[in-house]
Amino acid sequence: MNNTTSVQGDTRTLTAIDTAPGRASFPPQDVPSRPPRSEKIVDHHLQRRAIVYVRQSTQQQVLEHRESTARQYALTDRAYALGWPRSAIEVIDEDQGVSGSSVEGRSGFQRLLAEISVDRVGLILGLEMSRLARSCKDWHALLELCAIYHTLLADADGLYDPSHYNDRLLLGLKGTMSEAELHILKSRLQQGMWNKAERGEILNHPPIGYVRSAAARNGAGDYVIDPDEQVQSVVRLIFEQFQRRGSINGLLRWLVREDVKIPVRPISGSERGELQWRRPNRVTLLNMLHHPIYAGAYRWGHREIDPRKKVAGRPTTGRTLNAHDECRVLIRDRFPAYIDWGTFEKNQQQLRENSHLGKAMSAPRHGPSVLSGLVVCGRDQPSVGARHSMLVSYAGATGDRKGSKGGSLRYSCQREAIDYGGDRCQSLSGAALESFVIDRLLQAVSPASLELSLAASADIEHERQQLGKHWQQRLTRSRYEVEQARRQYAAVDPEHRLVARELERRWDEALQADEQLQADHARFLAERPERLSNVERDQIRQLSEHLPDLWHASTTTPQDRQTIARLLLERVRINIEGDTERVDVELRWAGGFVSHHTLRRPVQTYEQLSYFEELLSLIKSLLAEDRSLSAIAERLNNEGFRPPKRSSNFSAGILPRFLRERGIRTGVLPKSVTTENHLDQDEWWLADLAAKLDMPIATLHRWQRVGWLTSRKVTSAGNRWAIFADADELSRLTSLRASPRSWPNPYPPELTTPKPKPH
């Protein structure tokens, strides 16, 4: 009786609640029990939607943590119990498998913020606040919007109104705890990963030339050298040829020319782990040369993410590449090696120097310069320091930097001008410097010509033997593939034609490929046999005995000359003495020996010569002794004086202009002839006027021929030309001399019209 009364009492209570004003009436069995409405929920909230936000951090959690996902979806019942009808409850689950550490990539969370901003959301439900955001920045942005638009938040612990101070304080603490929790989880994972990396046990995909061993090491196979002998041979060949060629370009061109393929084992797909032979490419070669595993070392932290370089919407950006010595973990002698550590370090240095941004000796490049990358500035520069590499510039009529006729080569130090906007440090002609250094190079190698010929012969034979071994391995692999195809064809039932025809086709293809490979191998042996013939040895010996002829031969390329220079020289340090023709040259040879020399460079003017005053004084003294110009030139040459801008000697044709430009008369008038009785007022001898205007006599002669001067010939003075030039004419001629020529009107008429001589 009491139980019946209790049930009836409960029924009356439910009926009273559901028949309250503003609520629909339901049969008792269809209405779930709802708790009394919270005082925080008002009609304004119920008139908008309730959104249930569902998120798991990773795809693994989505697949394995099914119960957590089910609890999140069950929050729709919580929203219904709080008073929202089923039709007004929406689930946002677009962010499944996405981390909550950032708003980037979370389209569901971004849509949630947009819905709040247009005042469509009255309640947001999440299993816990960490599901909404694990970043304080994103969390407080959500709270700010919810406070503005009076949107409620609810989790398993309660209902919150962000516009109330106490609730907002509590929500702020929850957001801080969520971010701290993520930090703690990441720290635990990272520390565990770092500890494993410090033991050298984090292994991803084995690089070219390595495979995972069958034996397990701490639960994972270790890296061992690929058991395939041809793979080992090609990897060793790559490192050896890089040391010979000195650059990635040279190595790549050699591999392509010799038809050497790169062994690759794919890490995914249907042929995962199967050996494939692919064309060599620059990126693969660079990765191999930079990887310390080939020297037996383990590295970790080679590719790290720099948050400053990340781009929104591109999670893989911000990745930085660290050198082997900058990695977080570097363990030497961890794996079997192809090269020793010293060779690896030498390769890294060579790669750095080959870079266009490198400041040291670079690999041979295009262009006629032999010393490109070797020449450094020897002056002390307080702003940038001393010994910066000097830039190489090419100029000529055709603009061809590969050495066309008429082109010129120049070395200049412009580091102060480039970095600090200062003046150019120093500059000199490249032809003079290279000719000087090349002579010393040839002198240095001449005594070792026999050793050079023997070394060259041995080097050529060694390379051919390597290639021959590579060809034999290719032939062996090809014959194995033919035999394998034959066995497969022989094992099939002849009556099963659908399979037999396909296997027969594969056998034919293998036979054709093997025949083509044998033909290529025969052609290779005919062109380059492994052993040099006696004729080839004699040719090498003769070339080594005539190194200057070999150096200047048309068949010797600029890259060959650059390679020889780099084998013998480490640095060429130069220092020009002021603005003179004297250059101090320091040659640092391979092995550490340093030699000092003095080079005489071409300069623009006589005044730049370090011995100019001595030269002028000697010429004046010889003229005072009535010496002829030929005798003066011979005396100057005997005493070692040379004119600027040329390597030739003084001659009787050079001295007149030198003297005329300095106001010293070169010709002697007859004794009966004087300037006073042959020149009228404001008249000049043509040579004297040329010296006055500081211009060549030939140019003034041309002006006289075309009628730009008022002139007359004085027959009694040896047919000399007398030019009328008063003050106005001197001003006109000076302007004419300074006026630039332009096409189609070379000069304005007022400059080319001479003033008539007054009678």
What DSSP string describes 30-85? Answer: G----PPPPTT--HHHHTSEEEEE---SSHHHHHH-HHHHHHHHTHHHHHHHTT--
Residue 42 near residue 80 (C-beta atoms within 8 A): no
Q: Using 50, 70 and 90 to split pLDDT, how confident is the model at 49?
A: very high
Q: Which of the given ranges, 16-30, 142-156, 182-196, 605-619, has the highest pLDDT on average?
A: 142-156
**% of the chain at pLDDT higher than 70:** 79
CA–CA separation, 288 vs 248, rounded Å? 11
pLDDT at residue 453 tops 60: no
Measured CA distances, 408 to 249, 356, 401, 555 (Å): 26, 22, 9, 21
- H/E stretch holding 707 reads none
Contact 293/224 with Cβ under 8 angstroms? no
30-44, 511-525, 556-570, 609-623: least confident range: 30-44
Which range, 5-14, 155-164, 407-416, has the best average confidence (pLDDT)?
A: 155-164
743 versus 376: the higher-pLDDT residue is 376
Q: Which helix (H) or strand (E) holds 329?
A: strand 329-331
pLDDT tens-digit readout, 101-118? 888 778 889 999 999 999
CA–CA gap between residue 15 and residue 25 (Å, rounded): 8
Cβ atoms within 10 Å of 399's Cβ, excluding its own? 10
pLDDT of residue 741: 66
**For residue 752, is pLDDT > 90?**
no
Average pLDDT, the chain: 78
Q: Which long-range contacts (CB under 8 A, 24 or more apart) does 147-151 make?
A: 149/116, 149/117, 149/119, 149/121, 150/44, 150/45, 151/45, 151/48, 151/116, 151/121, 151/122, 151/123, 151/124
Token digits of residue 53: 């936000």
Q: Which string of b and e fits 2-29 if b means at least 16 CB within 10 Å?
A: eeeeeeeeeeeeeeeebeeeeeeeeeee
Q: Do the beta carbons of residue 585 and residue 597 sit within 8 Å?
A: yes
Domain 32-194 adopts which CATH fold?
Rossmann fold (3.40.50)
Tokens of 620: 């004046």
Query: What angle do the packed helices 341-354 and 229-245 form, to 10 degrees?
Result: 50
Using the predicted structure, report yes or no on whether residue 139 has a pLDDT greater than 90: no
Whether 50 has a pLDDT exceeding 60, the answer reads yes
Token output for 75: 């929050």
Per-residue HEC secondary structure of 394-421 comes to EECCCCCCCCCCCCEEEEEECHHHHHHC
**Beta-carbon contacts of residue 87 (< 8 Å; ≥ 6 apart):** none
pLDDT grade for 324, boundaries at 50, 70 and 90: confident
Domain 210-354 has CATH 3.90.1750.20: yes
In this model, does residue 670 exceed pLDDT 60?
A: no
pLDDT band at 684 (very low <50, low <70, confident <90, very high): confident
The CA angle 574-576-582, to the nearest 5 degrees, is 110
- Amino acid occupying residue 377: C
Place 344 in a pLDDT band, splitting at 50, 70 and 90: very high
What is the distance between the alpha carbons of residues 616 and 640, in angstroms, rounded to a whole number? 14
Reported as a single tens digit per residue, the pLDDT across 118-128 is 999 999 998 88
Phi, psi of 349 (to 5 degrees): -65, -40
Angle at 478 between CA 474 and CA 482, to 5 degrees: 170
pLDDT confidence of residue 34: 58
- The Cα 343–Cα 347 span in angstroms is 6
Query: What pLDDT does 184 receive?
Result: 82
Strand ranges inside 556-664, DSSP E: 569-576, 582-589, 594-600
Least confident of 74-88, 107-121, 197-211, 217-231: 217-231
Provide the pLDDT confidence category of residue 91 given band limits of 50, 70 and 90. very high
Model pLDDT, residue 220: 52
**How many whole angstroms separate alpha carbon 453 and alpha carbon 538?**
9
Question: Whole-angstrom Cα distance, residue 175 to residue 167?
Answer: 12
- Which sequence positions are flagged as catalytic? 57
The DSSP 8-state label assigned to residue 99 in this structure reads: -
Residue 153 binned pLDDT confidence (cut-offs 50, 70, 90)? very high
CA distances from 431 to 77, 557, 633 (A): 90, 17, 26
Mean pLDDT confidence for 700-726 = 85
Phi, psi at residue 560, to the nearest 5°? Answer: -65, -45
Query: Residue 5: which pLDDT band, with cuts at 50, 70 and 90?
Result: very low
User: Over 90: is that where the pLDDT of 89 sits?
Assistant: yes
| 3-state DSSP assignment of residue 521 | helix
Confidence of residue 36 (pLDDT cuts 50, 70, 90): low
pLDDT at position 449 is 52
Task: For the chain, report the end-to-end CA distance as a whole number of angstroms.
Answer: 158
| Secondary element (H or E) of residue 245 | helix 229-245
Looking at the predicted structure, is the pLDDT value of residue 9 above 50?
no
Between 304-318, 457-471, 649-663, 727-741, the lowest mean confidence (pLDDT) is in 304-318
> Distance of alpha carbon 345 from its chain centroid, rounded?
20
Model pLDDT for residues 295-309, shown as the tens digit of each residue: 999 988 887 776 666
Does residue 534 sit in helix, strand or coil? helix
| Whole-number Å distance between alpha carbons of 696 and 737 | 11
Distance CA 228, CA 211 (A): 10
Residue 441: CB atoms within 10 Å:
22
pLDDT at 383: 42
C-alpha closest to that of 604 among 629, 621, 579: 579
Rama region for 25: left / alpha / beta (φ>0; ψ in -120 to 50; rest): beta
> Is the pLDDT score of 360 beyond 60?
no
Mean pLDDT within 615-619: 86
| CA-angle at 531, arms to 525 and 538, nearest 5° | 120
- Residue 497 sits at φ, ψ, to 5 deg, of -65, -30
pLDDT-derived band at 563 (thresholds 50, 70, 90) equals confident
385-421 pLDDT per residue, tens: 445 778 888 765 444 444 444 457 888 887 766 655 5
Place of tokens 């790290």: 304
CB 110, CB 92: distance < 8 Å? no
